Structure 1
């Protein structure tokens, strides 16, 4: 990859990959740091970037591994999550996004990574398997468990049909037939 091609790749990809890593890690500043470090490493290896997965996947994978390494070095990693400001009191995103962020934050790292690659990055199961070096069945298992966690964390929504009726309407007789 020439310098011009790399510069064009960087301009096209840096914001998207940073957003993807933000969803994976739950920390925007950490995502920015690891993505920048991954692009520095990509610059140094631009002649060898994996053509099969593509440079986006290479940078995203390196950034993810950097994030995991940093997280492992934290002595009190869980305390770091708890020290973050509550988005509801600091003028953060809307409550629906906070619910999704909390659901993602409560997932194991591999589940969160697979869910992000599938739902945010719009990768196929096979692409996720290649990028994460997991078996396709393992990726499917992580996605299935992530969906179950989303369902548990986010719960039924008013007006959303479940079991043939809307959740915000009582039965005609006033009884609960669940």
Structure 2
């Protein structure tokens, strides 16, 4: 048995309620407090530190708890920020209601033939021009334009939406010949 095991056992049996209450002050959540305490215990005892008694071990764990709490908070914030960046990259500023639409677009893209899908992704996600897409995929510019047009029409059909240019043309003001138009 390692020298630190009896000390850990005593801390776990006798000091856990106090340490858990301390962790709860930071987390305001019982489950999170238990996780923070567990991580602090692992940090404190994982390197085989030889605490002379349970009082010193408790003090060390108590000192580790705020550090663990801050590290977990930073890690969570970092993950949330990464998810937000990924959602923005995948579908603009995807709000909760827009996530279903993003998934629909992804599913619709997956239905396109590979070259059409590549052209659409390069054009609308990577924001490349037609000449750049042509160079990237080693295709003629006219071929890229055709793939983009076909893919747009197919996506509009699959997503049950009209293409933007059709909508704009339908809502464009029409000049009346009787009012001095042509």
TM-score (normalised: structure 2): 0.36
Question: Which has the higher Rg, Structure 1 or Structure 2?
Answer: 2
> Which structure features the higher share of helix residues?
2
TM-score (normalised: structure 1): 0.37
Larger RCO of the pair (alpha carbons < 8 Å, separation 6+): 1
